[in-house]
Structure 1
C-alpha cells in the first residue's frame, strides 16, 4: 500500500476525477455567477456588459438591505437556538428512562420535506381554524394575531418552523459528540462530588467545544442562504416583511426576469457567507485544544 500511495501517477488517478467534479459543479458555477452579475440579461436574450452597475445598485436597494437584515435576524435566532438544542442533548445523553423515545421524536422533522413542513405550519398558523389561534381563543384571547399576515410578527412566526425543522439535526450532532466523552472522566468527576450542572459546564461542554463551533458555522451560513420554507409559506410577504436574500434573489430572477441582478445578489450572498464563516472561526479560535484519551 505504501508503494502504491507513493506513486504520483496513481495519486493523480485518484484525485483528478474528484477534482474535476468539484471544479465543474462548484467553482465554475461560482465564476459564472460572478460573470452574469456583470451583465444585463433577462435569462433568454442577448447579454450586454454593464460592469459593476448591478453591484452599485445593490448598495442603494432598500428592499435588498431589508432582506439582508431579515437573513441576519434568522442567523442570530439560529445561533441562539443552538444553546437550547445543546441543553436538550445533555438531557438525552443522561441515563434517564424514556430518553430513547424522545431521541426518535426529535428526528421526525428531519424526515419531512420542507414543503410538507410548510403546509403543516400553514395549518397551525391559520387565523381562524389554526390550532394555535384556537388554543389562544380557548384561553380568552378575543382577537388572536394573524401570524402570517401581520407585517410586524410574520418574520418571527416563520422562524419557529425553521428552527423546529433543524432541531433534530443539531440535537443528533450534539448527542453523538456527548456520547464520545470518556465515561472515565464523568465517573471521576462524580466521585469528586460534581453534580449534573457541574459535569455539563466543566466536562461535557468543554470537550465538545469544537463540535459546537462547527454547528455555529452551519447554523449561521445555512440561515443566510435559507429559502425553501419561507418561499412556500409566505413568498417573502406580506409586503416583503419576510423577504430574505435568497427569496429576493429568486423573485428578481424568475419573476422580474432580471438574471443579471439576481446573479449579483447570489454572488454577494456567497461573499457574505464566506466572510461570516471566517469571522466566526476567528472569534471561536482557541489557542489550546482540549484533548482526552
Structure 2
C-alpha cells in the first residue's frame, strides 16, 4: 500500500478528478468573466471587443463605488458582530444550564432559506402592521420610521437580519473550538488561582485565535459578495441606498442587459475580495510575529 501511495502517477490519478472539477467550476468561469468584461454584449447577440473600456468606466462609476461602500459597511458590521458571537460561545461552553437548547435555537436561522428570512423580516419591518413599529407605537412613538423605505435606514435595517441569519454558524464554530481545548489546561489555571475572566482572555482566546482569524475572513469576504436577502427585501432601493456590489452586478446584467459591464463588475468584485483576504491574512501574520 505504501508503495502504491508513493507512486506519483497513482497520486496524480486520484487527484485528477477533483482538480478537473475545480478547474471547470471555478477557474474557467473566473477567466470567462474577466474575458466577457472586455466585451460589449447584451448576453444574447454578438460580442464586440472593446478592450478595457468597461473597466475604465467602472473606475469612474459613482453608483458602483457607492454600492462598494455599502458592501464594506456590511463587512464591517459583520466583523464586529463576531465579538458578540464569541461572547455567546464562551457562555455556552462554560457549562451554563440549557446550553444545548440554546445552541439549537441559535442554529434555527441557518435552517431557513434566505427568501424565507427576507419575508419574515419584511413582516417585522412593515410600516403599519409590523411587530417592530407596533411595539414602538405602544411605547408612545407616534410616527415610527418606514425602515425599508427611508434612504438613511434601509441599509442598516437589512444588516440586522443578515447578522441574525449567520449567528448560529459562527457561534457553532467558536463553541466547537472552545470544547476542543483540553480540560486539563483549564483545571491547572484554576489551581493557580486564575479567575474565569483570566482563563477566557489569556488561555481560551489565544488557543482559538486561528479559528477566529478564519471566521473574520469568512465574514468579511462573505459580506462583500452578499446578494440574496438584500435583493429580496429592497432590490437595492430605495434610490440605491441599500445597493451592494453583487446586486449592482445583477441589475446591470439582467435588467440593463449589459453583460459585458456586469462581468467587469463581477471580476472587479473578485479582485477586491482577494485583496481584502490578503490584507487580513497579512495583518494576522504580523500579529503572530509580534506575539
TM-score by length of 1: 0.97
Large movers: runs of 4+ above 6 Å: none
Alignment gaps of 5+ in structure 2: none
Aligned residue for 1:149?
A: 149
Q: Deviations over 1:121-154 (max 9, x none)?
A: 0000000000000011111111111000000011
Aligned residue for 1:93?
A: 93
| Structure 1 position 12, deviation (Å) | 1.4
**CA RMSD of the aligned region, Å?**
1.1
Residue 67 of structure 2 is aligned to residue 67 of structure 1: yes
Aligned residue for 1:201?
A: 201
Residue 120 of structure 2 is aligned to residue 130 of structure 1: no
Equivalences for residues 1-293 of structure 1 within 5 A: 1-285=1-285, 286-287=287-288
CA–CA distance in structure 2, aligned partners of residues 289 and 152 of structure 1: 41
CA–CA distance in structure 1, aligned partners of residues 189 and 127 of structure 2: 52
* Secondary structure of 2:141's aligned partner: coil
CA–CA distance in structure 2, aligned partners of residues 288 and 240 of structure 1: 43
CA–CA distance in structure 1, aligned partners of residues 288 and 207 of structure 2: 15
CA–CA distance in structure 2, aligned partners of residues 287 and 207 of structure 1: 12
Counting matched residue pairs gives 290
Q: Deviations over 1:171-213 (max 9, x none)?
A: 0000000000110111111112222211110011110000000
CA–CA distance in structure 1, aligned partners of residues 288 and 55 of structure 2: 38
* Secondary structure of 1:284's aligned partner: helix
Alignment gaps of 5+ in structure 1: none
CA–CA distance in structure 2, aligned partners of residues 164 and 130 of structure 1: 18
| Structure 1 position 288, deviation (Å) | 5.9
Q: Deviations over 1:89-137 (max 9, x none)?
A: 0000011111111111000001000000000000000000000000111
| Structure 1 position 274, deviation (Å) | 0.3
| Structure 1 position 289, deviation (Å) | 11
CA–CA distance in structure 2, aligned partners of residues 191 and 31 of structure 1: 58
Q: Deviations over 1:206-237 (max 9, x none)?
A: 10000000000000000000000000000000
| Structure 1 position 287, deviation (Å) | 3.9
* Secondary structure of 1:107's aligned partner: helix
The more displaced of 174-183 and 195-204 is 195-204
CA–CA distance in structure 1, aligned partners of residues 33 and 43 of structure 2: 12
Q: Deviations over 1:53-73 (max 9, x none)?
A: 001101111110000000000
CA–CA distance in structure 2, aligned partners of residues 134 and 287 of structure 1: 49
